[in-house]
A and B are shown apart, each in its own frame.
Chain A
Amino acid sequence: MKKVVVVLLVAAVLGSMFLFTGCGNDQDVTPPASGTTDGGTDAGTANDDAHLIVVQPMMPNSFDPSLTNDVPSARAHALIYQTLVYQDHNRNIIPGLATSWEFLDAQTVVFTLREGVRFHNGNILTADDVAFSLNRAGESSHIAAITGFISEAVVLSDHEVKLITEEPFAPLLNHLAHSAASIVNREEVERIGDEAHGQHPIGTGPFRFHSFTAGDRYELVRFDDFNSVVPGMAEGALPVIEHITFRVVPEAAIRTIELETGAAHILIDAAASEVARIVEHNDLIMYEIPNFAVNTWLGFNTQRAPFDDIRVRQAIAYAIDIPTIVDVAWAGLGSVAQGPLPTTVRGAVTFPPIEQNIARARELMAEAGLEDGFSTDIWVNEGNAMRADAAVMIQAQLRALNIETQINIYEWGVLLPATAAGEHGMSLMGWTTVTGDPDYGLYPVYHSSNWGEGGNRNFYRNPRVDELLIIGRTSPDDAVRMEAYREAQELIMADLPLIPLWQASELYATRDNVGGFIGLPTGIINLWMVYFE
C-alpha cells in the first residue's frame, strides 16, 4: 500500500511539473479587448516564412510607454505604437500621426491629426486620445527626461490638439518623436488601468501585441488594418513580416549560437568578443551602427582639488594615449570620441584628437605646482569590462605624472548617488543623446543647474556655457541654436571638465537571408522594413 502511495505521489509531482511548465505563463492579449479585434494573423498560425525571431539580452520593462524609458521597451513601443512625428533615417522630423503642425508662439503648438487611423482594438484615433496620451506622459516621472516639458495638451477639435509647454522648448519635436511620447487609446487605458495596459498594450502601430512570457519572450503580429505611416514604408502599405518573436537570451555567446544555428534571424547587442566570429561566418551579416552615445568619457570632479585647476585636467589629457585605450579596451569597435556630442547628433562639432604629449603634461603639472603628483581615484560601474580595462590603462599611463590612481568599481546603485554627491575624483561614465537633439546631450551634462543628480556629475560651471545652453534650448531659430551649440562645445572642450574617449556603436547581426534591415542610432530597429530574401 505504501509503495502505491509513493508511486502516486511521485506521479502527481511529475505531472504537476509538466502542468506548471507546460501551461507556462503566457499573457495573452485577447481578454482586455472590449471592442472589436483587428482580425490580424494569429501568432499560432503565422506562416513560418514570415515569422521573424529576434534575440536580445533583456525583456522590455513595460509595454506601456509612460511607465519606462529603457531601450528594449522603446524597441517594442516603436512597433506597437506611433508618435505624432518621427525622425527619418537622416534625422529630419517627418509627419507621423500628425500630418502638420503650427507653432502659435514659443510655448504653443497645434497638431493636425491624420484621419481614420485605427487602434488595434478597432477604435478610431481621436484628438482626445492624443491629448490624454500627452498629458499622461507629461505627468509621468518615469519618462520626465523626455516628456517633462509638457505643461498641457488640449483638444481643439476632432483632429486638432494644442500642446503647451512649461517654457519655450525648441527641441520639442525631437522629444515628441521619441517612443516615450507614443499615443495610447484613452478608452482602453482607463478601462483596464496602467498596470494591465503595461501587459496588454493597444496602439496604432504596424504590429499588434500578441503575448508575452515573463523573462522569456514577447510576440507581435502584423496589424492588418494598419492605415498610417511609419518612416521608410509607403502610406497604406503593410509590413512583409507577419509575426515577430523577441526572445531574451542574456548570454552574448549564446545569442551568437542562436544565430549561427538558424534558431534566430536577428541578434541585438552583439558582444565585442563575438564580432570577429560573426564577421567570419558565411551565413551571417554584421552591422555596426554609430549611435547617439559618447559612451565613455574620463570625467573630473571640477569642484575638488586638484581637478579644479584646468592645468591638471589638461595635463591628464596629454598624459593618456586615447587611441590606444579605445583600440584595446573596446576591441577596435566604435571610434575615438571627437567632442562632447557624438558625431551622429545634429550640431556636433568635431575636434582634433588630443595627442599624447608627456613632456607638455609634465610642464602643466609643474605649473600647477604638482610635479610630485598626487593620489586620486577613478570610479567605474561594475559589469562594464571595457571601462574597467580603460581605467587600468589610464591608471598605468598617469604614473608618468606621478599620479597614483585607485580604481573603484561599484554597481550602478552605489555609483550613481555617490558621483551625484561628488565623492569621486575622476569617473568613467557616458551619456546618450536619445532624442538626437544637441539639447539632450549638452544641457543635463554641462549646465550648472544640473549639478549632481541632474546629470552634471563633473560639477562643471561656466556662466557663458550656461547662457548658450539656454539659448539653444529656447530659441525658435534653428540657426541661432546651432551657433549657440557650436560655441558651447568649443568652450567645453577648452575647459575640459571631461575628456571624451569613446563613441559607441550599436552592434547587430542578422542571417544573410534577412533583407531590409535598418538599425537606428537610437537602438531601435524598423522591423516593418524587414523581409526574407
Chain B
Amino acid sequence: MYKYILKRLLMMIPIIIGVTFIIFSMNYITPGDPALLALGEAAPPEAVEALREEMGLNRPFLVQYAYYMINLLQGDLGLSSVTHRSVFLEISDRFPTTLALAFYGTILSVLIGVPLGIISATKQYSIFDSAATAAGLLAVSIPNFWLGLMLIITFSLNLGWLPPSGLDHPLGWILPIITLGTGSAALVMRITRSSMLEVIRQDYIRTARAKGQKESIIIWKHAFRNALIPVVTAVGLDFGFLLGGAVLTETIYALPGLGRFMVDSIRTRDFMVVQGGVLFLAIAFSLVNLAVDILYAYIDPRIKSQYK
C-alpha cells in the first residue's frame, strides 16, 4: 500500500510538469498584453515597453518557460504583475478559504445526499422518491448566484439572522456552504440512489434477506458499503472541482478565495498568478484523487489487494 502511494506521488511529477507546460503555452498564446493591462490605457508606450522588458515578455517562448521552471524548482512562483506580491503568498492567503468552503460544502452534500439517496433507492417509486428526485432536479438547476442572492435577501436582509457577506462572524459560513453544497447534494443523492438500486438487486442481498437478516443491517452493512465506490468517486471529483470552481459563491459572499482571484487574474493577464494557481489546484486535485483511491481500498478489500 505504501509502495503504491509512493508510486502515485512520483507519478504526479510528470503530470505537474505537463500542467506547467500546457498552462504556460495557453498563457503565451492568449491575446492581450500583460504589461499594457498592468499599466492601463493611460500609460505611455515607452513605459509599457519598459515593463514588458522587465517582465521578460520579449524573450522567446522556450527561454521564458525555462526561466519559469528554474525559478519553480527553487520554490519561487514569481511575483504578481498586479499586486507585486509573491504569488505563493497570494495563493496561500486565499487557498484556506477555498479549501474550507469546498470541504464544508462537500460535507453538507454528503450529509444530505447520501441519506436521501439511500431512502429514495429503498423506497423506489414512492412519493418520497418522487419528491426527492424533483427536489434534486431543482437543486441542480438553480444557478448558484441566484440561490445565493435569494438566501441573502431572506436570511440577512429580511430576517437579519445571518451576515450578508464576509467571514467576520462564524455564522458567515452558513449561507456560502448552503449555496455551494445544494447542487452537489443533489448530485450525490442521484448517484447514491442509482448505485444502491444496482446493489440491492444483487443475489447476496437477496440471500441476506432470505436468511432473515434485519433490513437496516442489509441496507447499511451489505448494500451501502458495496454501493459506496461510485459515491466516493463522485464526491472526490466534486470536491476537486469545488476547489477551483467556487467562483460565483466566493464573489456573491465576498469571500477571499482562490477561484475569484484566479478569474480576476485571467482578466488582468496576471500570468504568474494564473500559472501558480493552476499548479496549486492541479496538485490539490491529484492529492484528492489519490485520497479517493486510498479510500477505495478501505471500502473494498478486493481493491486493496491490487495496490502493489
Q: Do A and B associate with each other? A: yes
On A, residues with C-beta under 8 Å from B are 2, 13, 17, 20-21, 23-25, 61-62, 64, 67-70, 141-142, 144-145, 148, 194-195, 198-199, 213-217, 247-251, 253-254, 257-258, 260-261, 263, 411-414, 416-417, 420, 429, 431-432, 434, 444, 452-455
| Residue from the set A23, A253, A413, A455 with the largest chain B CB neighbour count within 10 Å | A413
Known A261-B164, A414-B32, A417-B31: A454·B254 in contact at CB below 8 Å: no
The 0/1 profile, CB within 8 Å of A marked 1, for residues 16-35 of chain B is 00000000000000111100
Docked Cα-Cα span, A17 to B167, in Å, equals: 14
Known A148-B47, A444-B42: A417·B164 in contact at CB below 8 Å: no
Query: Which one, B115-123, B155-163, B212-220, B227-235, is touching chain A?
Result: B155-163
Known A199-B85, A216-B166, A417-B36: A412·B267 in contact at CB below 8 Å: yes
Kindly identify, within residues 142 to 166 of chain B, every residue whose CB is under 8 Å from any CB belonging to chain A.
149, 152-153, 156-157, 160, 163-166
Is there an interface contact between A258 and B251, defined as CB atoms closer than 8 Å? Answer: no
Q: Does B40 contact A (CB under 8 A)?
A: yes
Residues of A within 8 A of B252 (CB): 251, 254
The 0/1 profile, CB within 8 Å of A marked 1, for residues 149-193 of chain B is 100110011001001111100000000000000000000000000
For B165, give its contact among A142, A258, A432 (CB under 8 Å). Answer: A258
How many whole Å from A293's CB to the nearest CB in chain B?
11
* Top 3 closest pairs, chain A to chain B, by CB: A413-B32, A215-B256, A20-B96
Residues of B within 8 A of A69 (CB): 39-40, 42
Docked Cα-Cα span, A413 to B254, in Å, equals: 25
Docked Cα-Cα span, A85 to B51, in Å, equals: 29
Docked Cα-Cα span, A284 to B54, in Å, equals: 47
Docked Cα-Cα span, A68 to B256, in Å, equals: 21
Residues of B within 8 A of A213 (CB): 93, 256
Is there an interface contact between A21 and B42, defined as CB atoms closer than 8 Å? Answer: no
Q: Does B203 contact A (CB under 8 A)?
A: no
Is there an interface contact between A21 and B167, defined as CB atoms closer than 8 Å? Answer: yes
For B164, give its contact among A68, A194, A263 (CB under 8 Å). Answer: A263
Q: Does B83 contact A (CB under 8 A)?
A: yes
Is there an interface contact between B93 and A142, defined as CB atoms closer than 8 Å? Answer: no
Residues of B within 8 A of A414 (CB): 31-32
Closest to B268 in A: A413
Docked Cα-Cα span, A213 to B168, in Å, equals: 12
Closest to B41 in A: A416
For A198, give its contact among B85, B160, B257 (CB under 8 Å). Answer: B85
Residues of A within 8 A of B139 (CB): none
Query: Which one, B7-15, B97-105, B124-132, B280-288, is touching chain A?
Result: B97-105
Docked Cα-Cα span, A144 to B41, in Å, equals: 12
Closest to A451 in B: B45
Is there an interface contact between A13 and B32, defined as CB atoms closer than 8 Å? Answer: no
Is there an interface contact between A250 and B160, defined as CB atoms closer than 8 Å? Answer: no
Q: List 27 A-B contacts (CB under 8 A).
A: A17-B103, A20-B100, A25-B94, A69-B40, A141-B48, A142-B39, A144-B39, A144-B43, A148-B44, A194-B84, A214-B256, A215-B261, A216-B167, A216-B254, A247-B254, A249-B254, A250-B251, A250-B260, A254-B254, A258-B164, A411-B32, A416-B32, A417-B32, A429-B41, A431-B42, A452-B45, A455-B41
How many whole Å from B301's CB to the nearest CB in chain A?
12
Residues of B within 8 A of A412 (CB): 32, 37, 267
For A17, give its contact among B54, B104, B268 (CB under 8 Å). Answer: B104
Is there an interface contact between A263 and B163, defined as CB atoms closer than 8 Å? Answer: yes
Is there an interface contact between A413 and B269, defined as CB atoms closer than 8 Å? Answer: yes
Is there an interface contact between A2 and B84, defined as CB atoms closer than 8 Å? Answer: no
Residues of A within 8 A of B153 (CB): 257
Q: Does B243 contact A (CB under 8 A)?
A: no
Task: Compute the total of residue contacts between A and B using a CB distance below 8 Å.
Answer: 163
Residues of A within 8 A of B164 (CB): 254, 257-258, 261, 263
Closest to B82 in A: A61
Q: Does B79 contact A (CB under 8 A)?
A: yes
Q: Does B70 contact A (CB under 8 A)?
A: no
Residues of A within 8 A of B238 (CB): none
Closest to A214 in B: B93
Is there an interface contact between B93 and A141, defined as CB atoms closer than 8 Å? Answer: no
Docked Cα-Cα span, A25 to B99, in Å, equals: 14
Q: Does B86 contact A (CB under 8 A)?
A: yes
Is there an interface contact between A145 and B47, defined as CB atoms closer than 8 Å? Answer: yes
Residues of A within 8 A of B79 (CB): 195
| Residue from the set B36, B96, B99, B254 with the largest chain A CB neighbour count within 10 Å | B254
Is there an interface contact between B47 and A141, defined as CB atoms closer than 8 Å? Answer: yes
Is there an interface contact between B256 and A216, defined as CB atoms closer than 8 Å? Answer: yes
Known A214-B94, A251-B251, A416-B33: A141·B84 in contact at CB below 8 Å: no
Closest to B79 in A: A195
How many whole Å from B139's CB to the nearest CB in chain A?
22
For B93, give its contact among A25, A61, A68 (CB under 8 Å). Answer: A25
Docked Cα-Cα span, A412 to B42, in Å, equals: 13
Docked Cα-Cα span, A169 to B225, in Å, equals: 79
Closest to A433 in B: B42
Docked Cα-Cα span, A64 to B82, in Å, equals: 12
Residues of A within 8 A of B152 (CB): 254, 257
Q: Does B205 contact A (CB under 8 A)?
A: no
Q: Does B1 contact A (CB under 8 A)?
A: no
Residues of A within 8 A of B46 (CB): 144
For A215, give its contact among B38, B47, B94, B99 (CB under 8 Å). Answer: B94
Closest to A62 in B: B84
Docked Cα-Cα span, A214 to B261, in Å, equals: 10
Is there an interface contact between A416 and B44, defined as CB atoms closer than 8 Å? Answer: no
Q: Does B50 contact A (CB under 8 A)?
A: yes
How many whole Å from A287's CB to the nearest CB in chain B?
22
Is there an interface contact between B100 and A17, defined as CB atoms closer than 8 Å? Answer: yes
The 0/1 profile, CB within 8 Å of A marked 1, for residues 190-201 of chain B is 000000000000
Residues of A within 8 A of B50 (CB): 141
Residues of A within 8 A of B157 (CB): 257, 260-261
Docked Cα-Cα span, A252 to B163, in Å, equals: 16
Is there an interface contact between B156 and A144, defined as CB atoms closer than 8 Å? Answer: no
Known A21-B100, A195-B84, A257-B153: A144·B44 in contact at CB below 8 Å: yes
